[in-house]
Amino acid sequence: MNQQLVRLTKKRLFMPILCLCIVLLINVIKTPDFFKITVREGVFYGYIIDVINRASELVILAVGMTLCIASSAGTDISVGAVMAVAAAVCCSILAGGQVSVTAYQNPYIIAVLAALGVAVLCGAFNGFLVANLKIQPMVATLILFTAGRGIAQLITNGQITYVRVSSYKLLGANIPGVPLPTSVFVAILVIIIAQTILRKTSLGMYIEAVGINAKASRLVGLKSTAIIFLTYVICGLCAGISGIIMSSRIYSADANNIGLLMELDAILAVALGGNNLAGGRFSMTGSIIGAYTIQALTTTLYAMGVSADQIPVYKALVVIVIVSLQSEVVKAKFNDIKKKHESRKTLVATVEVQ
């Protein structure tokens, strides 16, 4: 029994799942009807549905962020700003330059493709700085981190562009007849595509190899620069997708608020998922569980009456605790204690035998 428990705690996904369970448990105690799901007009409602729904953007961001961290040991902190840019591009093309429209001025597909294209460009810019110019990822992405919202403002002319078309809202709401929110399916689709690419091709292994040692992997013939570049492009694309979902939720492009503070959440999701922020081996599933955990935490905080402005304090504290527990120094301390404990055990055993 004891050994099984030890084996269980050694599993990679043990900590992420434990965190999620703790958050959910707190909720069950605080709000008894947390798991209650009601059906209204053929659509599911409830806390759990809300968490899964709202977490969609974060899950998609976490997919991209995991790859960035794995390949370059650095985080892309521009994702929130890139979301705002993508939303601005999408809405302003649909609105055709007007502030508020009730019918598409341009085809939907063109707007989405353009938005994703711009997001990929942003990712490529970050990737170029990180991979080709060897600039620390966080500093390189700092450029878009602040300039991004300015660019988004520029695209929308400093106004909030509204697209008041019912089909635009579908992505952030429910498609008639489908009981689950659309964004959940988009998130699942992104996960499936990402997992397929990582599992079926050697890309996942290459990313890990580059993350563990970029120089060594270059010597064995991997194009480490290209791989790091690619991960930032993917991260940009993911940010673009979540930007479009978020703008669909509020059927507008609000350059100041779309994706605000999402970068910390995305990093936190990866860290919560048991991934090492120093790069190398990664677990996509862990990051995804981490993303849901954070959304559950956010929803819990909201339910407890904490205002949106105050939530960062709690999240920052969680980050500090998780990152501290992950740090080599603390790990070494734990190992020391464990070793001491074990050696005492063997000592006791030998004494008993004698």
**Contact mark string toward other proteins, 222..261, x via CB under 8 A:** ---------------------------------------x
What is the Cα–Cα distance from 352 to 77, expressed in whole angstroms? Answer: 57
Site size toward other proteins (CB under 8 A) is: 47
**CB-based contact 221:215 (threshold 8 Å):** no
Cβ 96 to other proteins, closest distance in Å? 21
Asked if 219 interacts with other proteins (CB under 8 A), we say no
Q: Does 145 bind other proteins (CB under 8 A)?
A: yes
CB burial readout 305-340, b (16+ within 10 A) else e: eeeeeebeeebeebbeebeeebeeeeeeeeeeeeee
Q: Kindly identify the residues of this chain, within the stretch 302-331, that bind other proteins according to CB under 8 A.
A: 307, 309-317, 319-320, 323-324, 327-330
Smallest gap from residue 102 Cβ to other proteins (A): 27
195 binds other proteins (CB under 8 A): no
Q: Which position among 5, 133, 220, 351 is part of the footprint of other proteins (CB under 8 A)?
A: 133
**What are the angstrom distances between the C-alpha of 303 and each of 3, 32, 38, 51, 310?**
39, 12, 18, 12, 13
φ, ψ (nearest 5 deg) of residue 230: -60, -40
Q: Interface with other proteins includes 218 (CB under 8 A)?
A: no
Q: Is residue 129 near other proteins by the rule CB under 8 A? A: yes
The CA-based angle 281-282-283, given to 5 degrees, is: 140
CB 131 within 8 A of CB 228: yes
Residues 147-166 as x/- pattern, contact with other proteins by CB under 8 A: x-xxx-xx---x--------
77 binds other proteins (CB under 8 A): yes
173 phi, psi to nearest 5 deg: -120, -145
Q: Are 222 and 210 in contact (CB under 8 A)?
A: yes
Among 135, 160, 203, 226, indicate the residue that binds other proteins (CB under 8 A).
135
- Measured distance CA(154)–CA(288) in Å, rounded: 33
Q: Which of 146, 196, 201, 343 binds other proteins (CB under 8 A)?
A: 146
Q: Show the tokens assigned to 106.
A: 């341009």
Q: Which residues bind other proteins (CB under 8 A)?
A: 74-75, 77, 129, 133-136, 138-140, 142-147, 149-151, 153-154, 158, 261, 263-264, 267, 277-278, 307, 309-317, 319-320, 323-324, 327-330
